[in-house]
Amino acid sequence: MNIEPLTGVTKRPQVDAVANEPVAQYPVRRWGAVIALDVVEFSRLSSQNDELTYFQYKSHRRELIDPKLAEFGARFLKSTGDGIMAEFETAQDAARCAVHVQQGMAERYQDGAADTQIFFRIGVSCGRIIADVEDIYGHDVNVAARLQTLAPPGGITMTKDVVDRVRDVMRLPLEDLGLRYFKNMCHPVRVYQCRFAA
């Protein structure tokens, strides 16, 4: 897994300035919102034409997804091969990023053969997160990863906690999927979905 910076290279601080800075203590416990994004049927697409699939995915990342992650202030980004895990400070930032990505992808779907197009699923959760320099951890990080598997191609699934924080400021075509049980999780999760592409 590769950790990908969202910002460019910054000027190296002076040695004295670094020496006087407090040393970060890890792990860090904080509240955050997480999106998990994954390519639908990536293995099938790759088996048909792995080079085309690779270049399409990289094009979507470069031209749409990464700029949206930066625009909405993702403070952590991890590449998972054919997907992404990103953390945001607020549920609104995470949900807006997810919506903008799927709406942008819907516009890009208009070109190309349907059987070779890339679609994404996105899951969004929020809660307490444990973070260190390499990764983010915790129940709500795991929930985001599980949620994206429930999302329709081109759609988004969210927890009730996320929906409660965004429903008054974002108009979303939400559908209540009810309580869902995920493997190795003690309690069910209330899930909502919204669709942006057929």
Measured distance CA(192)–CA(141) in Å, rounded:
17
Q: List, for residues 138-179, the tens digit of each pLDDT value.
A: 999 999 999 999 999 999 999 999 999 998 888 888 999 999
Total domains in the fold of the chain: 1
| Residue 169 maps to a domain | yes
Measured distance CA(19)–CA(144) in Å, rounded:
38
Say if CB 112 and CB 147 are below 8 A apart.
no
The CATH number of residue 161's host domain is 3.30.70.1230
Residue with tokens 């990764």: 135
| Residue 72 maps to a domain | yes
Say if CB 196 and CB 98 are below 8 A apart.
no
Q: How confident is the model at residue 18 (pLDDT cuts 50, 70, 90)?
A: very low
| Residue 15 maps to a domain | no
- Helices H / strands E in the chain, number of each: 6, 9
pLDDT at position 42 over 70:
yes
Mean pLDDT (the chain) is: 84
Q: What's the mean pLDDT in 47-70? A: 92
Q: List, for residues 122-143, the tens digit of each pLDDT value.
A: 999 999 999 988 889 999 999 9
Q: Coil, strand or helix: which one is 161?
A: helix
Please tell me the predicted confidence (pLDDT) of residue 14: 46
Q: Which residue range(s) make up the domain with 39?
A: 26-195
Q: What's the mean pLDDT in 187-198? A: 82
pLDDT at position 7 over 60:
no
CA dist 168 to 91, 144, 171, Å?
12, 22, 8
| Residue 41 maps to a domain | yes
| Residue 106 maps to a domain | yes
Measured distance CA(12)–CA(178) in Å, rounded:
50
Q: How confident is the model at residue 96 (pLDDT cuts 50, 70, 90)?
A: very high
Task: Tell me the H-state helices in the chain.
Answer: 15-20, 42-60, 66-71, 91-108, 139-148, 160-166
Concatenating the DSSP letter of every residue in 84-109 gives EEEEESSHHHHHHHHHHHHHHHHHHT
Q: How confident is the model at residue 20 (pLDDT cuts 50, 70, 90)?
A: low
| Residue 18 maps to a domain | no
Closest CA to 76 of 36, 40, 104: 36
Please tell me the predicted confidence (pLDDT) of residue 25: 76
Nearest 5°: the CA angle 131, 122, 185 is: 60
Q: How confident is the model at residue 197 (pLDDT cuts 50, 70, 90)?
A: low
Q: What is the pTM of this model?
A: 0.82
Q: Would the CA dihedral through 109, 67, 162, 118 be positive or negative?
A: positive
| Residue 110 maps to a domain | yes
pLDDT at position 112 over 80:
no
| Residue 10 maps to a domain | no
Please tell me the predicted confidence (pLDDT) of residue 3: 45
Measured distance CA(23)–CA(19) in Å, rounded:
9
